Amino acid sequence: MYFYKPSDFNLFSPSRIFCFVDHHEDDIRHVAFACILNADPPSDVWGSFPASRHTRRGAFSFVDGHVELHKWRDPRTVQPSIRRPRGDGEFGRGNNPDIAWVKDHATGLKPR
């Protein structure tokens, strides 16, 4: 679902939807952080890679204003910077609980 105005977030809990994320430095090649929402385990893939430089955690700022350092569970998500672009397989694709967490906090299904 796309959010066009602040009141659109009222359809979901603003404390569950992130609006800013700490992007991994080897993946900054687009203007936005992307999530591939239509892939399910075991075919999950990263659209963009989150940072893990804060003791295996990524920083997320949520719509309600709170900030969370989320600890990554899958060791494939935690990658040091190598100062070159990477492919999605390097950050662990398929059956990665971290991808599921990011997708769950990126948006919600459009109400019918």
Over residues 1-29, the pLDDT tens digits come to: 667 777 777 777 888 888 889 988 888 77
How far is the CA of 7 from the CAs of 12, 30, 44, 67, 80, in angstroms? 10, 27, 30, 20, 38
State how far the Cα of 88 lies from the Cα of 102, in Å rounded to an integer: 15
Over residues 24-56, the pLDDT tens digits come to: 888 877 777 888 777 777 778 888 889 998 899
Is the separation of the CB atoms in 99 and 3 below 8 Å? no
pTM above 0.75, yes or no: yes
HSE-up (13 A, CA, CB side) for residue 56 = 7
pLDDT band, very low/low/confident/very high, at 67 (cuts 50, 70, 90): very high
